[in-house]
Structure 1
Amino acid sequence: AFLGWVAIAGLIGFIGNEAVAVFRIRVGREINSAALIADGYHARTDGFTSLAVVLGAIGVWLGFPLADPIVGLLITLAIFAIVWQSSKAVLTRMLDGVEPAIIDEIHHAAEHVSGIGRVESVQARWIGHRLHADVAISVPEMATAKDVLGVTEALKEELFAHLRALAEANVRLVSPAGLAAETSHAHHHAPEPFKVACD
């Protein structure tokens, strides 16, 4: 009997929830909060529900009363999809996991540093809203100790430039045997392999 009012209420609900969703998701990404991002998707789900009410009202108005329950089923599927996506993100963060894109970005940062022979390993974890990374790299055999320090500092700078949420970067350099011998001779000990940490 009041399809017009139902449609107007649904539109207002959709616009309001979508505005809140956009705000929460944007702020959540800025502060790297998986929980706030998930809350934003929750608000977006509420907005879709309101929009489904509008579509159902239009269907009924056009003489198709089954439009309302059909749209309800479709929005239920959408809710499940959003809940699944948000749950995975929050659970990954709770288990100190990081998104694959972060590991890819660390490798990308290393590509900008000349003098790196190979990225041996990459480890990263979230502590609160801040990211901590540990990167092990190797250098060419002819690299000197001075080259080692230059490469580690350059990689550290690239990591902070590529990862806005990065709070700490630890660069470990696993050097060839020649550099290990050269460096160990200068320090009167012979660790194998030689590693340089840059905090």
Structure 2
Amino acid sequence: MNGQDARDHQRGGAAGEVTTSGEHSCEHGHGHGRDRAPEHGHDHPAGIRGWLHEVFVPHSHDAADSIDDALEASSQGIRTVKISLVVLGVTAVAQLAIVAVSGSVALLADTIHNFSDAMTAVPLWIAFVLGRRAPTRRYTHGYGRAEDLAGLFIVAMIALSAVVAGVESIRRLADPQPLDNLGWVLGAGIIGFAGNEAVAVYRIRIGRRIGSAALVADGLHARTDGFTSLAVVLGVIGVWAGFPLADPVVGLLITAAILILLWGTARDVGRRILDGVDPALVDRAEDTLGHVDGVNDVTDLRLRWSGHRLNLQAALGADPATTVAETDALTARADHHLRHTLPNLGRVDLTVISSQPHRT
């Protein structure tokens, strides 16, 4: 109902259904006492097992640090993509210089592969730009889902990398080929690994900060390319040590690692597309709303990601005698507390309904 209808309906003091929605930022930070929801944590494996889990199947970190301004988050994503393109471009150019000196056809193919992989960031760049556009009458929810489409493309590229690496490794096992200019190839592999891993760490860190599953996936894609370069390094070392089949064997191991990484990436991107969220976020939202003064219960709580923005809707039960002014104050408090406890919160739709307080 509109504002006037709500006032007419509640003039006698009975609480009706009043909805508030919006997206704003809180420019001040402070604690909320009992209204503050507990911090969210995750149990990760410890030691070497934990490190391997973080490298190959990193947690999606839906509950990342809060960024209130959607445009600023998109700008960070675009800036990350630009810097990544420069770093990967420099890496590929350095490898190309080694190709010119060594004349290695295999290294030339790997360099071309790195150039093409660097360009996979372009769809993500386009997605971030689209995500900044205002909703239209056709796309009433905006264009945030463009990030999820870019994430699907990146997952496909990771799968392609696994197929190419696996086929090439099997081919070399069946028909071993001597490696020439091992010193130059080793140097190119180190450059490729360093450049791709630096980009991977940067993309994953920023992607988690702004809540972008697609940017995290793109970081993992760069990591797969780094693994491929690392396989070259380990293969050269193995050949020097007297194991000529070390190169294809290591290649198969790297292929297995890429497949494990692919599973984690496809899982996170797929969950976003199906409107899946970390259940801990639902718990945090429910706990936060339940501690707001005047709220008797919380029902119909729903969360969904739109790109890197988290949207929320819920029905708040309040005393039937709650006035319109008190309802407005209640929803304002609830919105305020939510934005201090949930990450990257965008649109919030809160409906206040009549509800008796729970008796203990």
Tell me which interval the TM-score lies in, with the shorter structure as reference length.
0.7 to 0.9
Distance in 2 separating the partners of 1:144 and 1:45: 57
Structure 1 residue runs of 5 or longer lacking an equivalent are 179-199
The gaps in structure 2 that reach 5 residues or longer are 1-179
How many residues are matched?
Answer: 177
After superposing the two structures, state which structure 1 stretch, 143-152 or 34-43, moved more.
143-152
Once residues 163 and 28 of structure 1 are traced to their aligned partners in structure 2, the CA distance between those partners, rounded to angstroms, is 16
Are 2:119 and 1:119 equivalent residues in the alignment?
A: no
Matching of residues 28-107 of structure 1 within 5 Å: 28-107=207-286
Residue 27, structure 1, aligned to residue 203, structure 2: no
Structure 1 residue 16 corresponds to structure 2 residue 223: no
Taking a change above 3 Å as real, the CA distance of residues 170 and 69 of structure 1, as seen in their structure-2 partners, is: same
Q: TM-score, normalised by structure 2?
A: 0.43
- Tell whether the 8 Å contact from 1:112 to 1:158 is kept in structure 2 after alignment: no
Q: CA deviation at 1:60?
A: 2.1
On the 8 A contact 2:290/2:296 being kept in 1, the answer is no
Deviation of 1:20 (Å): 1.4
How is 1:112-151 mapped onto 2 (pairs within 5 angstroms)?
113-138=292-317, 144-145=322-323, 150-151=329-330
Query: Tell me, what secondary structure is at the counterpart of 1:131?
Result: strand
Match of 1:161 among 330, 333, 340: 340
Alpha carbons of structure 1 residues 10 and 158: separation in structure 2 relative to 1, 3 Å: same
TM-score scaled to structure 1, two decimals? Answer: 0.72
- The equivalent of 2:355 in structure 1 is 176
The one-letter amino acid paired with 1:103 is V
Residues 177 and 107 from structure 1, CA distance in 2 versus in 1: closer, same or farther, beyond 3 angstroms? Answer: closer
Give 1:160's aligned amino acid.
R
Select the structure that is richer in strand.
Answer: 1
Contact map agreement 2:320 2:356 (CA 8 A) in 1: no
Aligned to 1:37, what secondary structure does the other structure show? helix
Secondary structure of the residue that 1:169 maps to in structure 2?
strand
| 8 Å Cα contact 1:152/1:171 also seen in 2 | yes
